[in-house]
Structure 1
Amino acid sequence: MALPTNHQPIELQYQKSDRKDDQRFVQWPYSENFDQLAGSEVINLNGAHNLQIKGKTISGAKETCITLTNCANIRISNCRFVNGKIRGIYLYNCRNITIENNFFDHVVTGVLADHCQGGIVVEHNQFLNMLGPMPGGQYVQFNTVEGAGCSISYNKGENILGEGKPEDCINLYKSRGTAESPIKVIGNWIRGGGPSSSGGGIILGDNGGSYQIAKDNILVNPGEYGMAIAGGNHISIINNRIYGKSQPFTNVGLYVNAIGGYKISHAVVKGNRINFYNAANYNNNWWLADQSQKPEGWENGGNILGDKTLNENMLPQRLVSGK
């Protein structure tokens, strides 16, 4: 398919009421689907709420496909973001945004939620070949996302080596859930990574954070590492399966390391099964840095290291269908 050469963003801003004492934005009905937009036009919304965006295909965009700023109560579903030069979706200062059942293919980053306030949900999406490089290259990154009701769950993603320069598949950076509602990273299927010497599967507590849980994820050959806690408090890695074959960039299956001085406390690592080989073909399943507090479950939490039942067949041969 030939890529469009010109993309003009659709700027949609609400008009304020004529009443001098009413500074609310006029709401659009939640059923609005943007069906009038051409398939390749990017979407920029500022101050919007109570909307749906669905069924759009945005291909070859030279800027972020969908940008939401100061928005709330928006659902993005059944869209396709293909061959983009920047991100698929960017959220800034938003709340209650649901991103589900979308397909991201050859974009720099799939979803970046930046300084958002709760209710950010990224579920049941598919990601193929994030282009990167760092600081991009994630399927999903939360940057300073705070509040209850946040989730990155039940997504499928694959990075085919040589197609791009992906970094972390899922990254939680300076993000905080709550004790009652931690940020959830649950049930994701991830395959492929590299050649980055720092990027890998799922990293929690990057530059601190709190109340995060990664559970029941399956990772196959995700990159330099499988899963990690890099800082923060009340962060848990539970019941995940991690496999990595030896490649020139592979290092460790799971690590806990207070990177940059961001101390770790009240961490939990239990019930995980790991079979991960580093670049020297050594079965390097996990590592606890000297300065890091030992997580609950590290010694007696049912973790299985060098689990030979784990291999590349944990995930289906065709992981990402684009449907």
Structure 2
Amino acid sequence: MSPIHSTAPLSPLARTARPLRWLVWCAPLILAACSGPSVPQEPVATVTTPPVQESVAQDSVYDGTDRSWTDTEAGTRLTQESLGTGNNMLSNSPWTAASNGWGPIERNISNGESGAKDGRMMSVNGKKYDSGFGTHSNSSMTFNIGGVCNRFISDVGIDDEVGDQGSAVFQVYADGVKLFDSGKMTGKDASKTVNIDIAGRKELKLMVTDAGDNNYYDHADWGGAILVNCNMAAPAPAPAPATWTRIAGEGESFSVSGTQSVRYGAGTAWIVKDVTSSGQCTNGFFGNDPAYGTTKSCEINAPAPAPAPVPAPIPAPIPAPIPVPVPAPIPVPVPAPVPAPIPVPVVNGPLVITKGGTYSGEYLSNDPSVPAIQIKTSEPVILENCTLRGRGNLIDASWTSANLTVRNCKGYGLNPNDRTRYPGRFLQAEGVVSLLIENNFMEKTSGIYINKWQGNKGLPVTIVIRNNLVRNIEGRYSDGNGGFQDKFYRVQFVQFNGMRDISGAEIAWNRVENTARQSHVEDVINIYDSNGTASSPIRIHDNLINGAFSGRPDDSYSGGGIMMGDGCNSGYTEATGNTVLETSNYGIAVAGGHHQKISGNTMLALGKLSDGTLLDADSDSGFYLRNYCQAPNDASTVIAEGNTVGWGTPTASNPDARWDWSVTAGVERNNTSIQAANRAVNPQLLAQAVTAWESRAKAAGMIAGPR
């Protein structure tokens, strides 16, 4: 079936509506703590006649120059040192992360323009505020409140400095749960009041979006923002620490005497459960995964025994004329040694790299709009031996002419818990010079997106993606509560977009495994509007692709294994030696273009899951050669040869249906259909194909995943 084009470059008009998030260095404004009055109050304001508006400066409208801002020096660990007992003006507290669509976020004045401290007294429809925050969509501020405050109160609205222009939506999240949504507000609207219960909540996040209609004039005020009734009483002394002893590794069974407390997890993340007799050290037995992406263990609560009492000495007989010697004291049992604590890895917050060099470590971003690592230099950067987790993109290398190597890293996409977002990319790279992405592991990300190449053909490495282990590419939008909607965005393990005349590009020896109902990928590999050269085609070779599914596997689905010639200006691409299994709609395809080659690949599919679910309500063939753009091309340069194919397309009425290949614009020769073309594919053949690929990889010295 006709491919649905994936993400294409934004037009100039689209770019004006969605300015790039290039970061501008700015020191954070960290102010001293102060306590407010003991009685909860609404935001302090005075009401006056709306003032005559001054003209808004030129940079209130996006003119192609990015003026967005991110506080790159905000503390990366949550603290609530600035809070005092009683009420606290939030503008006196440090944030843990902050970003703004136009210039820096201002404290206690309006956003103003792109400079720091260039605002004025905040005013919404004549109501003035001497404390709070002046922001500009799209903006985000995250604060640690430590579970010690009872309520959050603030007025919100569009500042009078833009007159009746601008539109925005104000949202408040606590511990990832949305507690307030203003709906669309414009410069004509009076302020609205946020007054929400935050008792026990540890993290407070204030967001402003552009209401979906660009961010022009979106000067958004949080007027009089205050944390109410905070209790900073000294905590009770902590009980003596329990002694936990390891009894099993993840996936193992264990036994206990009677009923005992057993904990499951790693580091500081544990689930404790009372277990009788025996159990299993698994997510299923304990009901959840306490340390996603980390090897876990089970430990038993076994405090060291108290020393045995010393027996009293036996008294000497009174009548005896000879003194009775005092017996030697009975030795006191030595307590069992306490096991050394498991070292907890240091987890850093988001990292912005502005200088070339080699970087390692563990980085986390819980803000979907902030990458775990952002590359802001054209100097060569190496990320190695790192662990990345995030609710947005894990690595961003956009429009800085990046020269980037990522190797031996692990990347875990976290649910953004925002219904307007899907999990972030492992890597988003735009306007790059050189990329080498090798021996990494990635799970539950939306893959690698590469848009526009700015290098030259003489580089030893242009774009090389090899030896990576990939699981469950995810393009479904979050449901806001830890799960996913049916709605999805078309994402890939790798997509090339607008990569023109690139030489030395290679996607090789990657192992990609997607599980039905736990992922939604479009094309696992997609080459869109991109081309290699006659002497150096884009080479896609020796990859194992096992599974590609819609979120609902039996829905109509346009995705599959490897798509070449997507867009209307593609050429000089070849797919050779790949093993493509059960990718629903198609295995390997050419949608258009010239000088495209599918050679020596294995493509097998049953067309159904082990539970009998039929895949893809509108399935296609194992491979096809077509010209969807109807652009003039030399079909003799589009070739499929020497492939082994068995592509099941069963239906309720014909369980043995097959469609091995389809050629309407190209040359097909010397391809082999396994078994008879009217027989269902034997499941054993798929297992044998995996084993054969593993043997080839071992013989070639290739390792998928971190070394």
Please give the range of the TM-score, normalised by the shorter of the 2 chains: 0.7 to 0.9
SS of the aligned residue for 1:54 comes to strand
AA matched with 1:75: T
Who is 2:466 aligned against?
123
Identity %: 25
Are 1:169 and 2:512 an aligned pair?
A: no
Who is 1:287 aligned against?
662
Partner deviation per Cα, 1:283-307 (whole Å, 9 max, x = no partner): 1001123xx2x32xx1xx3111245
The answer to whether the Cα contact below 8 Å between 2:533 and 2:572 also exists between their aligned partners in 1 is: yes
The answer to whether the Cα contact below 8 Å between 1:230 and 1:262 also exists between their aligned partners in 2 is: no
Partner deviation per Cα, 1:164-209 (whole Å, 9 max, x = no partner): 1111111101111011110010000110111361010001010131
Partner deviation per Cα, 1:211-265 (whole Å, 9 max, x = no partner): 0010000011122110100011111111001001123314310111212334543
Who is 2:252 aligned against?
none
Partner deviation per Cα, 1:35-87 (whole Å, 9 max, x = no partner): 3x54325111123322211111112x121101112234321101111134211
SS of the aligned residue for 1:315 comes to helix
What are the ranges of 5 or more consecutive residues in structure 1 without an aligned counterpart?
A: 15-27
The answer to whether the Cα contact below 8 Å between 2:495 and 2:525 also exists between their aligned partners in 1 is: yes
The answer to whether the Cα contact below 8 Å between 1:230 and 1:264 also exists between their aligned partners in 2 is: no
Write out aligned runs for 1:79-228 (5 A): 79-84=409-414, 85-107=423-445, 109-117=446-454, 119-133=462-476, 135-146=489-500, 147-195=502-550, 197-208=557-568, 209-228=570-589
The answer to whether the Cα contact below 8 Å between 2:350 and 2:363 also exists between their aligned partners in 1 is: no
Are 1:54 and 2:384 an aligned pair?
A: yes
Q: TM-score, normalising length from structure 2?
A: 0.40
Q: Considering only aligned residues, what root-mean-square deviation do their CA atoms show, in Å?
A: 2.6
Inter-CA distance 253–75: structure 2 relative to 1 (3 Å threshold):
same
| Offset of residue 8 of structure 1 | 5.5
AA matched with 1:92: E
| Offset of residue 145 of structure 1 | 1.4
Distance 1:11 1:64 in 2: 13
| Offset of residue 34 of structure 1 | 1.6
The answer to whether the Cα contact below 8 Å between 2:606 and 2:648 also exists between their aligned partners in 1 is: yes
SS of the aligned residue for 1:86 comes to coil
Q: TM-score, normalising length from structure 1?
A: 0.84
Higher relative contact order (CA closer than 8 Å, sequence separation 6+): 1
Q: Pick the aligned partner of 2:622 from 218, 229, 253.
A: 253
Who is 1:63 aligned against?
392
The answer to whether the Cα contact below 8 Å between 2:429 and 2:451 also exists between their aligned partners in 1 is: yes
The answer to whether the Cα contact below 8 Å between 1:81 and 1:104 also exists between their aligned partners in 2 is: yes
Q: Pick the aligned partner of 1:44 from 370, 374, 380.
A: 374
Give aligned pairs, total.
296
The answer to whether the Cα contact below 8 Å between 1:74 and 1:98 also exists between their aligned partners in 2 is: yes
Who is 1:12 aligned against?
353
